[in-house]
Structure 1
Amino acid sequence: MVGHHRHSTTIAASIWVGCLLGAALFYGVGLWLFDPVVRPVLEWMGLLEDFNAMSENLEGSGFFWSVFLVSFSPAPMQLATLGAGAVEGSFPLFIAAIAASRGIRYFGLAALAHLFGPRIAELDIPTGRIVLIVLVLGLGAWAVMQLL
């Protein structure tokens, strides 16, 4: 968005619509294919306990806020979308929560890119080195986690 700050709103809208379509698809997978497809995959990935904990939160009275907060945070939104379908949560409420949280995120970033994009684009940031450093740090953190 920073590189094309004049089109940041269009970019945000495209990403937002794609996210809503993907969330609706994952909701449907959770609703109709949970036992034959999703449960075995979650077991294989070791995420079934996390999924069950998230599903308990979704079944409560705070369905909207649970979906909203998970999709706004860095937590894996896919688990919330699958869980919302698996617990047969209200689809309109689900879409409203995803639309609100992701709308705030994407259009907020678009506003920042529009306001500060020209100044940031003028900076000479050596992205190749930054990517390499982030990759090495990420691999190092992963290796440490595997050893623990």
Structure 2
Amino acid sequence: MSTPEPRSASRPRRRGASRAIRLFRLRLIRAARGKWAVPALFIGSFIDSTVFPWPVALPLAAQMLRGRRHVFPAAAAAALGSVLGGLLVFVLARLAFEAIAPMVVDDSDAAARLAEVRARIETGGAVAVFAAMLTPVPVQLTSLAAGLAGVGGVWFALAITLGRGLRYFAMGLVLYAVGDQIVAGWLWLPRWGRWLVICLFAALFIWLIALSF
């Protein structure tokens, strides 16, 4: 009959395993929030402006609230991804509308919105493109409409760069100024309050995703 292991010997083992788990979780958090955060925002923004609109502003704000040094790299990554994605849709609309239309205009409502945006762009040109880039109108819809409306490539590139850059960097300036206060307010909340805020933002994120379909 084997003798039971002394309690004093089992405690260090449990502490060692718990410490190893904590270190592993910290490494995962650093990996997710470190070098991969900005590339992920670029990819997410590119996807948002091409085939799948989604609320990229929520993870963008979360990255910006990590600290002031994270604000402008995050804004630049999101703006660059959005601009490149919009340019891709614009070029495809000029060269192969029949191939790209099913990926962007998947129902009658989207087709009606496309016709509406196209009519505004045909009237206002690059200025209308710039204005649309500051609104919740999906980037790919505006880019597609601009390509169909015959907006010049240089003017479109200038309009989308200024529009998306202004939108994301304006957001960055606001969070650069008041981000510390927002974080302080978050830390002031009790645990149940933090979970309530997280649930509200998760519900908002899901609702915005649902609206994109």
The TM-score range, normalised by the shorter chain, is 0.7 to 0.9
Render the CA deviation track for 1:36-76: whole Å, top value 9, x for unaligned: 4405852535311221121122222x212211111101122
| In 2: Cα distance, 1:110 partner to 1:87 partner | 32
Name the SS for the 1:123 alignment partner.
helix
The answer to whether the Cα contact below 8 Å between 2:126 and 2:151 also exists between their aligned partners in 1 is no
Aligned to 2:150: 88
Give, in angstroms, the shift of residue 138 of structure 1. Answer: 8.3
Aligned to 1:14: 77
The 1:64–1:43 alpha-carbon spacing in structure 2 relative to 1, beyond 3 Å, is same
User: Structure 2 unaligned runs (5+)?
Assistant: 1-63, 188-192, 208-213
Name the SS for the 2:186 alignment partner.
coil
Aligned to 1:73: 135
Higher relative contact order (CA 8 A, sep 6+): 1
1:51 to 114, 118, 121: 114
Aligned to 2:170: 108
| In 2: Cα distance, 1:138 partner to 1:4 partner | 22
Q: Which amino acid aligns with 1:53?
A: E
| In 2: Cα distance, 1:94 partner to 1:127 partner | 42
User: Structure 1 unaligned runs (5+)?
Assistant: 141-148
If the length of structure 2 is used for normalisation, what is the TM-score?
A: 0.57
Which one has the largest radius of gyration? 2
Q: How many residues align?
A: 142
Name the SS for the 2:73 alignment partner.
helix
The 1:21–1:127 alpha-carbon spacing in structure 2 relative to 1, beyond 3 Å, is farther
